[in-house]
Amino acid sequence: MAIIIKGGTVVTAADVGIADVRIEGETIAAIGRDLPAKKSDQVVSAKGKYVFPGGIDVHTHFELPFMGTVSADDFRTGTRAALCGGTTTIIDFIIPAKGKPLAEAVAAWQKKAKKAVADFGFHMALPEFNEAVAKEIPSIIRKGVTSFKCFMAYKGALQIDDGQLIGVFNAVGKNGGLVMVHAENGDMIDVLTKQFTAKGQLTPEYHWRAHPALAEEEAVHRIIELSRFTDQPIYIVHLSSADGLEKVKKAVAKGYKVFAETCPQYLLLSADLYLKPKFEGAKWVMSPPLRPADHLEKMWGGLSRGYIQTVATDHCSFNFKGQKDMGRDTFAKIPNGIPSIGDRFNLLYTYGVGKGRMSLTRFVDVACTAPAKLFGMYPKKGSLVVGGDADLVIFDPAAKGVVSAKTSQHNVDYSAYEGMKLKGLPVAVLLRGKFAVRNGKYVGKQGAGQFIARGPSGKMV
Ligand SMILES: [Zn+2]
């Protein structure tokens, strides 16, 4: 039995046109006009709907031990929320313990991910770099973990210095991997955090003030120069500021191998949220922080014009009650992160396509195709091609909704986007040919997610 998705408007990163999609087993068997259906085939009408490739979110932190607690969404609730929001594949970050083999951390993450209901891959974070780490990198790449994240921030914990960054570029690059970076100057942040703390300035507002855009601008500049020095590409995660974007634009104009990701929060939310009374600003405490409102339109511009290639979430959820409030006495103890994996696809459609900030094809590129290409999953994932995985979203552009913690699938007690209106919602989501969402309801199966051993990262095919 095949499934035929009939008469929808099929959208890829390149084209928009009415077509049928025939699915046999886990893959797309044909795309074309008026495909014939056998009696045994299941025909699903998509008339008046868009048919998009399944979304890909390349930046999540499920069940992450962090800042004295563990992030609230695990691989089950996180990937379920992903599917309901049109995302069929995620890449989560393995954070290994210092001094321990990286392979041990891969095994630990594989164990946690057994609960996944969407497909998943892993990046490897490198909180230290030394000979043992360098030696192990090729075998990690052979396991299909082909991207490595470094931190220029979180001094005293995850931050590594320029010498180590150069070492990572050399070790990862020559084995077909891609270096990713959290680009904020951790020393600037450390100095400001200590200054505010000493003065008793401890509310969530000071988390934002301790992470100025200059700290991002400086780190973006420096990592671009280190990437030139080693002649290796660099992928900047969660680019948040117009200042950082300016550095990226200049580098792209000069032909340097720089890729950038941003997140819905840096396109839609602004720093005035930190000024909310009664500690409420803690809900948006994350690194990098939200920026003043005048950054937002510039970030949209960078995205629609191709300086930023991907939109991911950095989903790292902590409950307002019981987790965020660990930092009631000082912003430095508020667990960093927001929930958003279920909101990314819909927010980007409503406020990107719906508001005329980006085309339909650009939307598919940043939400699905470019992530698959950059992280070695294309054409199996990220587009609608014959022979590719049948991951797709049937999307009703007329459906209306409102983002709310009450209706969200996230396992957390608030929404970062509470009350924001949506126009356009998934009605059905298929993961490798099986319905995970139907009529807007989750119908997926426990353990349906598969590990994706990724190919070389860092190339746009
Ligand atoms: Zn992150």
Asked if residue 92 is part of any domain, the answer here is yes
- DSSP letter for 351, please: I
**E strands present in 12-66:** 16-24, 27-32, 42-45, 50-53, 55-60, 65-66
Asked if residue 202 is part of any domain, the answer here is yes
pLDDT in tens, 229-273: 999 999 999 999 999 999 999 999 999 999 999 999 999 999 999
CATH code: domain of residue 74: 3.20.20.140
Q: How many domains does the chain have?
A: 1
List Cβ neighbours of 314 (8 Å cut-off, separation of 6 or more): 59, 60, 61, 237, 238, 263, 265, 286, 337, 338, 340
pLDDT in tens, 178-211: 999 999 999 999 999 999 999 999 999 999 999 9
Asked if residue 83 is part of any domain, the answer here is yes
CA of 200 to the centre of ligand 1 (A): 28
Asked if residue 455 is part of any domain, the answer here is no
Residue 29, SS3 per DSSP: strand
Asked if residue 297 is part of any domain, the answer here is yes
Q: pTM (2 decimals)?
A: 0.98
CA of 306 to the centre of ligand 1 (A): 22
- The answer to whether 341 and 81 have CB atoms below 8 angstroms apart is yes
CA of 47 to the centre of ligand 1 (A): 38
- Residue type (1 letter), 457: S
- Which residue segment(s) compose the domain that 358 sits in? 54-374
CA of 312 to the centre of ligand 1 (A): 10
Confidence of residue 441 (pLDDT cuts 50, 70, 90): very high
CA of 211 to the centre of ligand 1 (A): 15
CA of 48 to the centre of ligand 1 (A): 37
Quickly tell me which residue has 């009631």 as its tokens: 328
CA of 77 to the centre of ligand 1 (A): 18
Asked if residue 433 is part of any domain, the answer here is no
CA of 143 to the centre of ligand 1 (A): 22
CA of 61 to the centre of ligand 1 (A): 7
CA of 60 to the centre of ligand 1 (A): 6
